[in-house]
Amino acid sequence: MPTLLIKNTTILVTMDDHHREIPDGGLFIRDGFIEKVGPAGELPTSADEVLDLSGYVVLPGLVNTHHHFYQTLTRAVPAAQDANLFNWLKTLYPIWARLTPEDIYISTQTALAELALSGCTTASDHLYLFPNGSRLDDEIAAAREIGVRIQAARGSMSLGESKGGLPPDSVVDSEESILRDSQRLIETYHDPKPGSFVQIVLAPCSPFSVTGELMRQSAVLAREYHVHLHTHLAETEDEQVFCLQKFGYRPVSYMQSVDWVGQDVWFAHAVYVDNDEVKTFARHGCGVAHCPTSNMRLASGIAPVKEYLAAGVKVGLGVDGSASNDGSHLLAEARQAMLLSRLREGITGFSLSNDPSRKLMTARAALELATRGGAAVLGRSDIGSLEAGKCADFFAVNLNRLDYAGALHDPISAIVFCQPGRVDYTVVGGRYVVKEGQLVTLDQPKLVNQHNRAAKRLLRHL
């Protein structure tokens, strides 16, 4: 691969351990990795390709830690617009039961296109139903074509309505077939090396859709192959009631009972946790995928992000499935995280407090969650910051636009405080996915057309 020199940026945000922000900063990239990062005077003056980014802010590629790509086909479904989680799911399960392999492929491209246009370079997706011959392979093929790194979480559901679970029996699978397919996917696709574009994660869907035995067996299999574990947890009060009634535990204790705590585990949402459970996450190294928009959309609640960070819990951001967001804009999610955290402070008396130790989440802290925070949650040390030896994953935003007019005294905060739009460049492993504001790895108008046709077909009997 040719060398690439990025130069003359207005400011380059490294997110390294020293939080360096380098005016007139640049990157020298070779074979998909960063060889040098620094001000212009410390970088080579030439390369096979030189990209002058004067007037742009450059940041590490954003890391999305929780999504369901297929749900881009069921955004804003009227019957599911104003429901809480369990009713929203019950409305959508029968529609999702009609998904085909082609739907998985198309929806993956749509979600990743949106994510890339918002600065995302690595995304974890949680696919947990496989109707009509659908496979995780369909998603991986689509991700490879667009060129964004993927942590493909092999989801599963085995606890249907007839056994006391939430989903209809028509969308659950046998535990034997789930485990067999999980093993096949790891052996076929999982690449643990630095710079990997595909990693497999085992991800039984939630306490109310799989059995404890499948949780246990998935953990055994994941640890045998050194892959990570992921599930939804403590998302709503309904789930807490379900866990207490069905298993006799609160959600976090239930996870401990099935051996689901450790450095290799991260949970989506984790809203309903008490102080001891926050400490449990910290002690065992569990990560959290914070999904503020989804938590607001479904009226689930507000995750205690400040407490997690204070306790040393790894926290990243997730846009969550597009049926509960209903977008895949990761920079916008950083803004939501900052704003929701501030709202929580307000509810707990910030405006009346003169305690100088009480601090609001800053724009930079929100960007940190979206970059190195997400990388830590996914267990990846090769992404999340712009440093020598790390993947050449970054995005750039032109500051000379209406959205940032009047905010250039602090361009880094401006891209969070001001309404985020589309980014101008997204580069993954030294390759352009977005260039001059346009996707370069797929035909966007054609994709939108295909996607809308597929969505119409899925909903035609409603």
- Provide the minimum distance between the beta carbon of 261 and Zn ion in the complex, in angstroms, as a whole number: 20
Which CB, 138 or 320, lies closer to Zn ion? 320
State which residue, 118 or 206, has the beta carbon closest to Zn ion: 206
Distance between CA atoms of 121 and 138, rounded to whole angstroms?
A: 19
State yes or no: residue 368 binds Zn ion (CB under 5 A): no
* Amino acid, single-letter form, for residue 111: A
Q: Write the single-letter amino acid at 171.
A: V
Site for Zn ion in 390-449 (CB under 5 A): none
Smaller CB separation from Zn ion, 294 or 426: 294
Smallest distance, Å, CB 66 to Zn ion? 6
Q: What is the DSSP letter of 248?
A: S
CB of 125 to Zn ion, least distance (A): 10
Nearer to Zn ion, 320 or 326 (CB): 320
Q: In what order do the strands lie in the sheet with 33-39?
A: 33-39, 25-30, 4-7, 49-52
Would you say 208 and 215 are in contact if contact means Cβ atoms under 8 Å apart? Answer: no
Which of residues 15 and 337 has its CB atom nearest to Zn ion in the complex?
A: 337
> Which whole-number Å values give the CA distances from 281 to 103, 153, 211, in the listed order?
36, 21, 22
Neighbour-count burial of 420, counting CB atoms closer than 10 A to its CB (0-12 exposed, 13-18 middle, 19+ buried)? buried
Question: 372-390: string of b/e by CB count within 10 Å (b at 16+)?
Answer: bbbbbbbbbebbbbbbeeb
Q: How far is the CB of 288 from Zn ion (least distance, A)?
A: 13
Sequential DSSP letters for 6-28? EE--SEEE--STT--EEETEEEE
Per-residue mark of binding to Zn ion, 112-151 (x: CB under 5 A): ----------------------------------------
Beta-ladder partners of 233? 269
Instruction: In whole angstroms, give the CA distance from residue 424 to residue 441.
Output: 14
The number of residues that bind Zn ion (CB under 5 A) is: 1
Q: Which residues does residue 29 pair with via DSSP β-bridges, in sequence order?
A: 4, 34
Nearer to Zn ion, 147 or 292 (CB): 292
Distance of CA 20 to the CA centre of its chain: 24
Q: Which is nearer to Zn ion, 107 or 426 (CB)?
A: 107
For residue 289, list its beta bridge partners: 268, 316
Task: Report the nearest approach of Zn ion to the CB of residue 264 (Å).
Answer: 19
CA distances from 156 to 153, 174, 301 (A): 9, 9, 25
Residue 377 beta carbon to Zn ion: minimum distance, rounded to whole angstroms = 14
CA distances from 284 to 15, 314, 333, 443 (A): 25, 11, 27, 44
Site string for Zn ion, 296-335 (x = CB under 5 A): ------------------------x---------------
Nearer to Zn ion, 320 or 424 (CB): 320
* Position closest to Zn ion via CB: 320
- For the record, the structure tokens of 251 come out as 């959600």
Q: For Zn ion, which is the closer residue by CB, 264 or 320? A: 320
Task: Return d(Cα 200, Cα 182) in angstroms, integer.
Answer: 9
- In the complex with Zn ion, the residue whose CB is nearer, 287 or 430, is 287
**How does DSSP classify residue 337?**
H
Q: Please state the closest distance from residue 231 (CB atom) to Zn ion, in A.
A: 9
| Residue 147: CB minimum distance to Zn ion, A | 24
Shortest spacing between CB 180 and Zn ion, in angstroms: 24
- Residue placing its CB nearer to Zn ion in the complex, 28 or 267: 267
> Which residues 6+ apart lie within 8 Å of 382 measured at CB?
194, 195, 196, 390, 391
How near is the Cβ of 399 to Zn ion at its closest, in Å? 33
For the chain, give me the number of helices (H) and strands (E)?
15, 19
User: Minimum distance from CB of 268 to Zn ion (Å)?
Assistant: 5
Chain residues binding Zn ion by CB under 5 A are: 320
